Amino acid sequence: MDIDALPKVMGDDGEFHVTDETVDLSGTPIEAWAALGFFWLLGITVFYQFFTRYVLNDSAAWTEEIARYLLIGTVFIGAAIGVAKNNHIQVDFFYRYMPAALCRAMALLVDVLRIAFFGMAVVMTWQMMQKLGNYKMTIVDLPMNIVYGVCMLGFAAMFVRSFWVMRVHMRRGYSVLERPESTMEDK
């Protein structure tokens, strides 16, 4: 290993020198900002719970329930980021041994099934919300449909992102399943 090829962080003056790269958040999808918002609300709620329980010795009863629902919101909205990046769990082992035409057909089938799954999840979540009606949360006097509405919004975002992923795969002529070394950012 050539030591001179490594980045130089110690200057000739013996001081540590590092230059930070510019942070660019322009490519951050709206789902990521929404998930970050839910995560911050979750953090504030858990901190409030900690504060009231261990500092004031008078625990706020509503915080555990609300924290649970905020975690659900974070997961469902955040899952749309995984769909957009196309990095959910996948098995690409067999794609190495199948003929290219079969790989392409299977990858297209995966894209279509993903769209169908998330579309049905939106419909079934809507149906569940209709059946729940005015059902309230256990401790907080708010409708449970707020929680299911966030879940449905997450499924809807995953549904829309699935179309976008399929469009990228169609335009490129291959998917991440066929070429695991690729990413959604590859052209």
Residue 19 lies in a domain: no
- At 158-183, the pLDDT tens digits run 999 999 999 999 999 888 888 877 77
Which structural domain, as residue segments, surrounds residue 80? 28-172
Least Cα distance to 104 among 6, 29, 180, 173 occurs for 173
Cβ atoms of 170 and 110 closer than 8 Å: no
Overall domain count for the chain: 1
- At 2-48, the pLDDT tens digits run 666 666 677 777 777 777 788 888 888 899 999 999 999 999 999 99
Residue 145 lies in a domain: yes
Residue 88 lies in a domain: yes
Q: How far apart are the first and last CA of the chain?
A: 33
